[in-house]
Structure 1
Amino acid sequence: MRSAPLSFSDRRERRRHQKALDRLRKAIHRMCVRQRDLLSEEARQEAETFEREVASYLTNADSSSATAPVLLERGDKLAAKLFPRKPWGELRENVEIFLVAIAAALAIRAYFLQPFKIPTDSMKPTLYGIQTVARTGPPPSAPVRLLHLLLFGKQYHYLRLSHDAALVDLVPGKFLIEYTDLLFDDGQKQRVWIPAPTLVYKVGLRPGLTFHAGEPVFNFLSVAGDQVLVNKAVYHLRPPRRGEVFVFRTAGIEGIESTLRDHGLDGSLFYIKRCVGVPGDRLQIDPPALRINGSTTPPNAAMARVEAGRAGYHGYVVLPGQQYLLSPEEQVVVPKDGYWAMGDNSPDSQDSRFWGPVPRNDLVGTGLFVYWPLSPRWGWIH
């Protein structure tokens, strides 16, 4: 005798129970596999019996709808019995996920992608370092300042005094980030979260300056340098190519390391430039062009933009104090396992013209992507 057909709502309820049972069966099976060494033989058999009953229910079209809630209740009790929730279990699980995420991030940084901050304007206008822009009006409201900081890397710096005072000294310090204590002749001290070199060299503050009441001590906008992702894996697969932006360490480049030692700095730095010459290339600077192997045609679009001298580019130039390529007649042959690095902002770049080729062992990777701040340069690096 055939049973009466199920109504639409009954069929929907049956499907819901079937999905719930199938998820519960799979979850118990996964837990049994993970904890196979911890479960007793009796517990494993109990779990297998439940899995078989659920499988039988799901494959039998004539199974009673009343059976599903009973199986679900049995399954919940079985899971709680075999795999009891441990104290602070959720916290431990979240901590484990957090640690795994950190390990994955460190692995990616070590072998594939590394963030890098553009420190100077040597690659401008392709990539920007920290910019300082003088302002006249007061800064915008706090919400606007926060939005500008998060999206565009803009920080507004503004300080004025309530009465006349003369600047006596600038005392640098650091508490997580750099700050400067401004000392005035009336005894007051103003702490500003700005590095002292920025205030001295870019803003022009110095001891002896006098400020009147209501007059700004400084009023400027700083824009973060471009933050880029560096592809660290690429040079394990192929050598550098002319025209690509690359990052390298300064270790072993004596022209850079000696300057660092003169300033009391130990260890190497990371530089970002454009690779304009590969091993065997003959280079000459005939401003605004860089001749490669005698050719008058730039080898790629990136270097053609520099030579064109438009849209913020100035071409390749000869600077006072450089050690190589001092005239259009002088040639340099890039040595084996060496690469010639030059900044796109040739008039304001310390590069291979001053300290020679970059050794192959110093290469880190190619500049891949500007990920912050949001600007016209956001995106792939060319």
Structure 2
Amino acid sequence: MSFLFLKNRDLNRKKNKKIALQFLKDFRRKLHYRRDLLDEAKVKKILDYLQKLESAIRSPQQNLEAVLNDGEKLYRSIFTESKWSGFKENIEVLFVALVVALAIRAYFLQPFKIPTDSMKPTLYGIQVSARNEQPPHLLRRILDFCILGKSYHNLSLKRGGILEKIEGKKFLFFEYSKLTFESGESAVLWTSPHLLEYKLGIRPGMTFEPKMNVLNFEVETGDQVLVNKFIYHFRFPKRGEVIVFKTTGIEGIESNLRLQGIEGSQYYIKRCVGIAGDVLQIRPPYLSINGSITAPNPMMAKIESQKEGYQGYVILPNQQYLVDPSETYTVPPLSLWAMGDNSPDSLDSRFWGPVPMQNIVGTGFIVYWPFSKRWGIIR
């Protein structure tokens, strides 16, 4: 027997051993995955073969290639693959991924969209601004939306007239508004009726001229954040943390929502500025906590500095609590005091009182989209 033959045989042996180890691993995984669908006789056949394969891998005297060939025949005879098997496995993987995603959303991280400017400039709600020029070309519009969450809207009318109704509709995941005029003309804008009414002031009964660019505006979507739902299972919220809570049972909020035609509880996002037992006063631009105007954390100090777009804490007309600098309020047990960073333009605990701890969903963790200067960890 030549040296070259022995060398080639050793190389083939090493190669077959590597293949055999992978085959052993794959066969075991398949058995684990399908065992509950196999009868005892087939399970015994597989276990006997796996034992034989392990022995062949360890023993240099056995013909590993022949054992692998036997295993391939056994595998094909037991695990017959239909033409739909790949599709079924993909569906199973997608199902598992969906279950995991729902579990994460339920117990760990939940996406949330900032609807208003009450947390500005920390977090931005939906921004609408008028335009004089035509929308940019298609590629630019796609990039602007993907990166900055910016969309462009334009309405031109041939007949115009009195706006009869605005209907909210959906196409797949996209919301749009259908505008119908008394002249019989109708038009579509790819934005919500709520935005048209409360951001642009467009309501039925208004008259529109028949011309180009009756409406020409751009919309920047509100910041999309992930809410950490896990952390408050282990500790209470702290002063200065951004919190998300449900409006359930807070009548001052829900009565105002009903006036806007919104039924049911909503999610709000504010900053926790007071915890149970704190004695609060508003002494513009400061929020006094337990007699001290020294901010308990850097973020609240930044708000009170009246710099970088922050305007401090103020007293607004018609607020129900802390209506003048001499008034104090003690946060009740199992409650928090929540205020917006944009104090002059925020409906918060000054109007509807404390937030019950049972309503707290979690803390604002990260802005994940759009990719603006606010992208990243929420302070």
TM-score (norm 2): 0.90
Q: Distance in 2 between matches of 1:12 and 1:155?
A: 62
Read off the aligned partner of 1:118 and give its amino acid letter.
I
User: Is the 1:203–1:218 contact (alpha carbons within 8 Å) kept by the matching residues of 2?
Assistant: no
Deviation at 1:328, TM superposition (A): 1.3
Structure 1 stretch displaced more, 228-237 or 347-356: 228-237
User: Is the 2:176–2:189 contact (alpha carbons within 8 Å) kept by the matching residues of 1?
Assistant: yes
Structure 1: give runs of 5+ residues left out of the alignment: none
Match of 1:365 in 2: 362
Read off the aligned partner of 1:171 and give its amino acid letter.
I
CA RMSD of aligned residues (A): 2.6
Deviation at 1:143, TM superposition (A): 1.9
Q: Distance in 2 between matches of 1:166 and 1:37?
A: 69
Structure 1 stretch displaced more, 344-353 or 39-48: 39-48
User: Is the 1:167–1:182 contact (alpha carbons within 8 Å) kept by the matching residues of 2?
Assistant: no
Q: Distance in 1 between matches of 2:180 and 2:36?
A: 69
Per-residue CA deviations over 1:152-196 (Å, capped at 9, x if unaligned) read 2111112334x5744543422323444333345654322222223
Q: Distance in 2 between matches of 1:268 and 1:165?
A: 38
Match of 1:258 in 2: 255
Structure 1 stretch displaced more, 283-292 or 189-198: 189-198
User: Is the 2:226–2:367 contact (alpha carbons within 8 Å) kept by the matching residues of 1?
Assistant: yes
1:51 and 2:55 are equivalent in the alignment: no
TM-score (norm 1): 0.89
Match of 2:271 in 1: 274
Q: Distance in 2 between matches of 1:142 and 1:240?
A: 45
Match of 2:164 in 1: 169
* Residues 1:337 and 1:71: Cα distance change in structure 2 (over 3 Å): same
User: Is the 2:163–2:208 contact (alpha carbons within 8 Å) kept by the matching residues of 1?
Assistant: no
Deviation at 1:113, TM superposition (A): 1.2
* Aligned mate of 1:189, from 174, 186, 189: 186
Per-residue CA deviations over 1:181-231 (Å, capped at 9, x if unaligned) read 334565432222222343344335465545464x41111110110111111
User: Is the 1:157–1:220 contact (alpha carbons within 8 Å) kept by the matching residues of 2?
Assistant: yes
SS state at 1:199 partner: helix
* Residues 1:40 and 1:190: Cα distance change in structure 2 (over 3 Å): closer
Deviation at 1:55, TM superposition (A): 2.7
* Residues 1:186 and 1:294: Cα distance change in structure 2 (over 3 Å): same
* Residues 1:171 and 1:8: Cα distance change in structure 2 (over 3 Å): farther
* Aligned mate of 1:379, from 349, 355, 376: 376
Paired positions, count:
376
Read off the aligned partner of 1:254 and give its amino acid letter.
E
* Residues 1:363 and 1:39: Cα distance change in structure 2 (over 3 Å): closer
Per-residue CA deviations over 1:216-271 (Å, capped at 9, x if unaligned) read 11111101101111111211111110000001111121222232344454321111
Q: Distance in 2 between matches of 1:85 and 1:296?
A: 72
Read off the aligned partner of 2:25 and give its amino acid letter.
K
Per-residue CA deviations over 1:87-121 (Å, capped at 9, x if unaligned) read 62222222222122111111111111111111100
User: Is the 1:172–1:178 contact (alpha carbons within 8 Å) kept by the matching residues of 2?
Assistant: no
Match of 1:100 in 2: 96
Per-residue CA deviations over 1:313-365 (Å, capped at 9, x if unaligned) read 11000000001111111111111111100000000000000111111111111
Question: 1:108-119 counterparts in 2 under 5 A?
Answer: 108-119=104-115
Structure 1 stretch displaced more, 167-176 or 15-24: 167-176
